[in-house]
Chain A
Amino acid sequence: MQTMENKWEMLEQTSESREKIWSRNRTFAADVWFRLCRKPTAVAGLLMILLFMLFALVGPFLTSYSYSDQSLEMVNIPPVMKVYDVGSCRVYITPSLKLIRVDENGSLTGMLPVVRYEHEKSMTIFDCDGKEVALYYGRSVYVVCDEATGNIYPAGHIWNHDHLLGTDALGRDILARLMYGTRVSLMVAFVSVLVNLVIGILYGGISGFLGGMVDAVMMRIVDIISTIPLTLYVILIMMVFGQGLQSIIIALGLVYWVDMARVVRGQVLSLKQQEFVLAARTIGSSSRTILLQHLIPNAMGSILVTATMLIPSAIFMEAFLGYLGIGLRPPLASLGTMCNDANANLRTSPHELLIPALVICLIMFAFNFLGDGMRDALDPKLKK
Chain B
Amino acid sequence: MEAILTVNNLKTTFLTGSGAVQAVRGISFQVGKGEIVGIVGESGSGKSVSSMSILRLLPGTARIDRESSIVFDGQELTGLTPKQLRQIRGKRISMIFQDPMSSLNPLIPVGKQVEEMLKIHHKELTREQLRRQVLELFGQVRIPEPEKRLKEFPHQFSGGMRQRVMIAMALANKPDLLIADEPTTALDVTIQDQILKQLRTLQQESGASIIFITHDLGVVAELCQRVLVMYGGLIMEEAPIDDLFENPGHPYTMGLMASIPALNQDKTGRLPSIPGSPPDMTNPPQGCPFAPRCPYARKICAAQCPPYVSLGENRRSMCWLLQPDAPAENNPFRKEAAR
Contact = CB atoms under 8 A, between A and B. Distances in A.
Contact of A7 (B275, B293, B294, B299): B299
Nearest to B19: A23
Given A8-B300, A17-B292, A18-B276, A384 B16 contact: yes
Interface in B275-332: 275-277, 280, 282-283, 291-294, 297-304, 326-327, 330
A339 B291 CA distance: 71
Given A6-B299, A8-B300, A8-B326, A21 B280 contact: yes
A11 B18 contact: no
Nearest to A18: B276
Contacts of B72: none
Contacts of A19: 276-277
B280 A7 contact: no
A384 B293 CA distance: 26
A10 B297 contact: yes
Contacts of B61: 384
Interface residues of B, number: 27
Contacts, number: 64
B292 A18 contact: yes
B59 interface: yes
B49 to A, nearest CB: 12
Main SS class of interface, A: loop
A34 B19 CA distance: 12
Interface residues of A, number: 25
B218 interface: no
A10 to B, nearest CB: 6
Contacts of B293: 13, 18
A11 B14 contact: no
B298 A11 contact: yes
A383 B298 contact: no
Contacts of B298: 7-11
Given A17-B276, A18-B276, A38-B17, 14 more contacts: A4-B299, A7-B299, A7-B303, A8-B327, A9-B298, A9-B299, A10-B330, A11-B299, A11-B301, A19-B277, A31-B17, A383-B16, A384-B16, A384-B59
22 contacts: A6-B299, A8-B300, A9-B299, A10-B330, A11-B291, A11-B302, A13-B292, A18-B277, A18-B292, A18-B293, A19-B276, A19-B277, A20-B280, A20-B292, A21-B280, A22-B282, A22-B283, A23-B282, A31-B17, A383-B16, A383-B17, A384-B14
Interface of B: 14, 16-18, 59, 61, 275-277, 280, 282-283, 291-294, 297-304, 326-327, 330
